[in-house]
Amino acid sequence: MKRFQINYFGKAESWIVPRMVRALPRWVTPDMMTLLSLVGAGLASYGMVKKGDVIWGLVLLICGLLLNWIGDSSDGALARLRNRQRPILGFWIDRAADTICFVLLFVSLGASPYLNMGSGLGLAGAYLFFQLASLNLARRNRIALIGYGGLGATEARLLIAFSVTIQYVLISFDIRPSIGPLPLDACVAAMFSFGMATAGVRLLSQATKHTSRKRVLS
C-alpha cells in the first residue's frame, strides 16, 4: 500500500519523527506507542470536560494532545525502523486508533464549555464519514492518505488546542462572539464539518479501480 503524507506539517514530521523513534528505548514497542496515543486522547478529552479549575483542564488538554501526537506519529515509524511491520493489520489498527481518538476528542469538545454538543457531534460524524471514505480508498486503490487538502491529524490537534485556548481567553473576559444569531464557535465547527464531509464525498467518487493516484491527490 502506498502512503502519501500531504499535510502542511508533513515535511517537519518526516524530519522529527525518525529522530524521535531512534531515541526510544529498545523495550518500547509500536503497540505501546499506539496505546500512548489513546491515553493521550483520553487525557485531552478529560481536560476539555473537566469542571472547576479550567486552567488545569487546558494544561491537560495540551499535554494529552502532545502525547497523542507522539504515539500516533511514532507507532508506524518505530515498526518500520525495527522491521516489525504488519502492513495490513498495522494499517487497520492505526486507523481504528485514530478514529477512536478523534471521535472522543470531538464529542468531548461538544461536552466542554467551548462548543455545543450538536457541533461536537457534527464534527465527529463528518470525521467518521471522511475516515470511511479514506478506508474505502485504501481498500480499493491501495492508497493510504495521511492528510487531505493540507490538513491531517497533526493540524487537527493544533486547531483543537488553538481554538480551545482562544475560547478560554474569550470566556474569561465574558466575550462570546457570534455571526448573527449563531455563536462563532458553532459557525467555525460547521465549516470544518462541511469541509470534511465534502472531502469524504470526493474520495468516494474517486475510489475506483481506474482512478489514478495523481487524480486522487489533486
Distance from C-alpha of 133 to C-alpha of 156, rounded to nearest angstrom? 18
Mean pLDDT score, 144-173: 88
DSSP 129-195: HHHHHHHHHHHHH-EEEEEEEEB-HHHHHHHHHHHHHHHHHHHHTT---EETTEEHHHHHHHHHHHH
pLDDT at 159: 94
Question: What residue type is assigned to position 38 of the chain?
Answer: L
Q: Is the pLDDT of residue 64 over 80?
A: yes
- In sequence order, the 6+-apart residues with CB closer than 8 A to the CB of 148 are 6, 130, 134, 199, 203
**pLDDT tens readout for residues 100-121:** 999 999 999 999 988 999 999 9
Q: For the chain, what is the mean pLDDT?
A: 87
Residue whose entry in the numeric block shows the C-alpha cell 487524480:
215
**pLDDT tens readout for residues 175-192:** 888 887 888 899 999 999
What are the cell numbers at 95?
A: 486507523
- In sequence order, the 6+-apart residues with CB closer than 8 A to the CB of 27 are none
Lowest mean pLDDT among 12-21, 52-61, 160-169, 184-193: 52-61
Distance from C-alpha of 217 to C-alpha of 199, rounded to nearest angstrom? 11
pLDDT at 98: 93
Q: Is the pLDDT of residue 55 over 70?
A: yes
Lowest mean pLDDT among 11-20, 26-35, 139-148: 139-148
Q: Quick one: pLDDT band at residue 1, thresholds 50, 70, 90?
A: low
Mean pLDDT score, 69-86: 89
Q: Quick one: pLDDT band at residue 51, thresholds 50, 70, 90?
A: low
pLDDT at 50: 80
What are the cell numbers at 7?
A: 499535510
Q: Is the pLDDT of residue 132 over 80?
A: yes
Q: Is the pLDDT of residue 88 over 90?
A: no
